[in-house]
Structure 1
Amino acid sequence: MTAISRSRGRRAVRTTLAAGAVTLGLAALTACEKPSPNAHFTLGTSTKTMETASDCHGHGDGLGVERARACMEETEDVHSFSTEDGETLRVGVDPKVAETGWLLFVNGTPRAIDPSFNTYRSFDVDELYAASEAAGMPGQEEDAFGDVVQVSVAQVTEDYDTEALMEAFQAAQMGDLEAFDTAFYGQFEGIWNLQLEQKEH
């Protein structure tokens, strides 16, 4: 073997090793990304299981007001169900979500402000459609969700305080939206969205 061929061989080995190192480095970075807990939505015999969007779970920390609002109002790439009258939507969450508690929203409006600590609940689809017609929260843009009914699960942080939220809501009626946003949207750790549309007959 000539000196030139040996040199080329060594360069080829170094190139292969470098490429392998880059691949391993990228794999390590991917492995460091924490998967979010899942939410499970079931209608009839169809179930959709999903993680949050990559930037819509705080992994132990609150999302912050702006991020939480943006995640809840996200309508692109959201799973959907076509529904009929009288159907039931079943919502399940991972135990980690139930541990801190979660709220159900319809077009950005909570069905209740006291968090659920159950891993499974059922909701009448007709009631969700009716709730969407009256939906609206302080500071929320009109027609934020268009013609669809957007159902959202919001995991709350351990610091979520219903009494403080009620005081902030009263302040919001007087124009102090910042206090309300902090007490409410500022205490969300993760958000999952689903859209409902009525079947055309």
Structure 2
Amino acid sequence: MTTLPRGAAALGHRAVRRRRAVAAAGAVSAGLLVLSACDKPTPLSTITVGSDSISSEATCGGEGDEALKTADLTKCLQSEDIETITVDPDETVRFGVDPDIADKRWTILMNGQPLTEDSKKTYRTVPGSVFFNAQYGAQGDSTKVAVVAGNGKEGGQTFTGVWAFELKKDD
């Protein structure tokens, strides 16, 4: 038999249960704090040709509304560390962007020159032959393209993010 006064064991059990509840609440609070410190993922841009796709986070900018400087934009467009996809000129090239990019209005640049008007759509298509046609400024068997997010104003000349890719001609 126990030597504790009547009801003392039950009081001790309640204290243990209370400590466990406080510890669990503390763990949940710490977990929420850690999750709130995580950065929001940057929006993605995707290119699809046939059944092949490539996606990329922003090469430059892409987070927030801060405008890129012209020198930074030029450097981004010349980046060598970009995703590459092979394109058959007879295929359709599909460009897709996250809604965050579409809300800012976006356009496609080919070798640094606008290929399309800016748009709020999340999806655009371009014939593959365009990317290897000298009339559009193409040179050789590869072309650099970029999805460029604007500032939300139609026809705006300010860019807030660049997603660069390289398209290689399929022989």
Question: TM-score with structure 1 length normalisation?
Answer: 0.60
1:63 counterpart letter in structure 2: L
Q: Equivalents in 2 of 1:122, 1:47: separation in Å? A: 14
Identity of aligned residues (%): 28
User: Out of 140, 145, 153, which is 1:151 matched to?
Assistant: 145
User: Out of 100, 106, 111, which is 1:107 matched to?
Assistant: 111
Structure 1: tracts of 5 or more residues without a match: 1-27, 136-142, 166-183
Residue of structure 1 equivalent to 2:169: 198
Q: Does the Cα contact within 8 Å between 1:78 and 1:195 map onto a contact in 2?
A: yes
Higher helix share goes to which structure?
Answer: 1
Structure ID, larger Rg: 2
Q: Equivalents in 2 of 1:80, 1:36: separation in Å? A: 20
1:47 Cα deviation after fit:
1.3
Q: Equivalents in 1 of 2:134, 2:62: separation in Å? A: 26
1:102 Cα deviation after fit:
0.4
> Within the alignment, does 1:37 sit opposite 2:31 as a pair?
no
Q: Does the Cα contact within 8 Å between 2:77 and 2:146 map onto a contact in 1?
A: yes
User: Out of 124, 128, 132, which is 1:129 matched to?
Assistant: 132
Q: Does the Cα contact within 8 Å between 2:132 and 2:141 map onto a contact in 1?
A: no
User: Residues 33, 132 of structure 1: CA spacing in aligned structure 2 closer, same or farther, 3 A cutoff?
Assistant: farther
Structure 2: tracts of 5 or more residues without a match: 1-33
Residue of structure 2 equivalent to 1:57: 62
> Within the alignment, does 1:97 sit opposite 2:68 as a pair?
no
Question: TM-score with structure 2 length normalisation?
Answer: 0.70
1:46 Cα deviation after fit:
1.1
Q: Does the Cα contact within 8 Å between 1:72 and 1:108 map onto a contact in 2?
A: yes
Higher strand share goes to which structure?
Answer: 2
Q: Secondary structure at the match of 1:188?
A: coil
The runs of 4+ residues in structure 1 deviating greater than 6 Å are none
1:127 Cα deviation after fit:
1.4
Q: Equivalents in 2 of 1:98, 1:161: separation in Å? A: 12
1:126 counterpart letter in structure 2: S
1:101 Cα deviation after fit:
0.4
Q: Equivalents in 1 of 2:64, 2:146: separation in Å? A: 18
Measured on the aligned residues, the alpha-carbon RMSD in Å equals 3.0
Q: Equivalents in 2 of 1:103, 1:82: separation in Å? A: 21
1:104 counterpart letter in structure 2: I
